[in-house]
Structure 1
Amino acid sequence: MVIRVLVAEDMHIVRGALVALLRLEPDIEVVSEVASGDEILPAARDSRTQVAIIDIDLPGKDGLTAATELHEQLPEVRTLILTSLGRPGTLRRALAAKVSGFLLKDAPAEKLANAVRGVAAGRRMVDGDLALAAWDTVECPLTPREIDVLRLTAEGRDTLEVAAKAFLSTGTVRNYLTTIVSKLNARNRVDAIRIAKESGWI
């Protein structure tokens, strides 16, 4: 049986390379290519995708948000997150988003094809080295609400915009950001964002 695959990657050269590699496999057919997270759900629905290969950093909806949306609205579609971010914290976020697989972009081509086959068969495929490293990571000290506030701030929103988006007062947002900076032992908000991103928490 041929596996119907969607590839979501905003870098054209990378997407082209992924598609070319997958088309060498006789049991895999690329049925859709998209460049933003917002396009994934409608494209998956229209093309009757079985496996969606999703870059974690996409314009519009990020890869994990899009994967969560797929899981909720098209539960039959399996998701394989492909990323250059080899950070265990990112793996934790991916697993929390109910993704079927997690693979680094620098993995060998045959590993990608095997991961596609594995998730299509209902298995969870996770990069072995990354899975082992995840055991040793420090748990995120931030609450889900603090993560939301920091993520909105990382998108370049000011305090007023974060407050409106998160349904909070501006004073509460400022208090959250002060707490976040303190919890992460950061110098300021920018440093807190850097720490959280490098740890895969946002």
Structure 2
Amino acid sequence: MTTTRTVRVLLADDEHLIRGALAALLALEDDLVVVAEAATGPEALAMARAHHPDVVVLDLQMPGADGVSVATSLRTELPDCRTMIVTGHGRPGHLKRALAAGVRAFVPKTVSARQLAGIIRTVHAGSRYVDPELAADAISAGDSPLTVREAEVLELAADGAPVAEIAERASLSQGTVRNYLSAAASKLGAENRHAAVRLARERGWV
């Protein structure tokens, strides 16, 4: 009689209702066990260090550090831990950043619990999964001229947040934020950061 190895999962999402629902649904799977949950990027890192999960399911946008930043850190600190992103913000630029950070799967939050469980198993087995529609959008968007940090700061500026707030959320100085915003606008040929955000979003780079 063969036994299936249990896959240890860490869930990180700042929306408590979504995280709780995912945990409850995954608990119905015999071979999956949620060993920890986190609501912020730093908390996700701390929980991963403490529990050494097999697969970390990360929301893309979280307080403290986004999912790609967490995945980048885990790739170095816990190389045997595989990461995947589940997001409601599946733009081509996000996908490319995630893949560059070693993320093994990138899926929209519209997937069913059964699909998500299957993708977790796929990732644990060493394979990759990218939502086909997101992959097609990424190919058509072309390569972004923005660096990872420029794209991150530009996205934080998308809702009109002041430089001071962007600096705090990105853990950067206000001068550095201004430099990134200026560089992004210059690369995109935009007259200001608001136009840069619009252009970058139209092209799927943020």
d(CA) in 1 for partners of 2:12 and 2:177? 33
Note if 1:192 corresponds to 2:167: no
The yes-or-no answer on 1:157 pairing with 2:163 is: yes
Q: Does 1:92 find its partner at 2:93?
A: no
Partner of 2:35: 31
- What SS is found at the alignment partner of 1:43? helix
Query: For 1:195 and 1:86, how far apart are their aligned partners in 2?
Result: 17
What is the distance in 1 between the residues matched to 2:179 and 2:90? 32
The amino acid that maps onto 1:135 is I
Q: Specify which of 181, 184, 189 is matched with residue 180 of structure 1.
A: 184
The structure 2 residue matched to 1:12, chosen from 9, 16, 22, is 16
Partner of 2:77: 73
The equivalent residue for 2:87 is 83
Name structure 2 gaps, 5 residues minimum: none
1:36 maps to amino acid: T
Deviation at 1:182? 4.2
Query: In 2, distance between residues paired with 1:175 and 1:41?
Result: 29
- Compute the displacement of 1:201 (Å): 3.7
Give 1:106 deviation, angstroms: 0.4
Judged with a 3 Å threshold, the aligned counterparts in structure 2 of structure 1 residues 122 and 150 are, in CA distance, closer, same or farther, namely same
1:150 deviation in Å?
Answer: 4.0
Instruction: State the TM-score, normalized to the length of structure 1.
Output: 0.83
Contact 1:87–1:198 (8 Å) recurs in 2: no
Alpha-carbon separation, structure 2, partners of 1:54 and 1:173: 25
State the TM-score, normalizing by the size of structure 2.
0.81
Alpha-carbon offset, residue 129 of structure 1: 1.9
Count residues with an aligned counterpart. 197
Q: Deviations over 1:38-64 (max 9, x none)?
A: 011221122221100000000011111
Kindly report the root-mean-square deviation, in angstroms, between the aligned alpha carbons of the 2 structures.
Answer: 2.9
CA distance in 1, matches of 2:89, 2:156: 20
Q: In structure 1, what is the Cα distance between the partners aligned to 2:82 and 2:124?
A: 6
- Structure 1 unaligned regions, length at least 5: none
Per the alignment, do residues 3 and 149 of structure 1 end up closer, same or farther by CA in structure 2, a change over 3 Å counting? closer
> Could you say which residue in structure 2 is the equivalent of 1:40?
44
SS in 2 for 1:193: helix
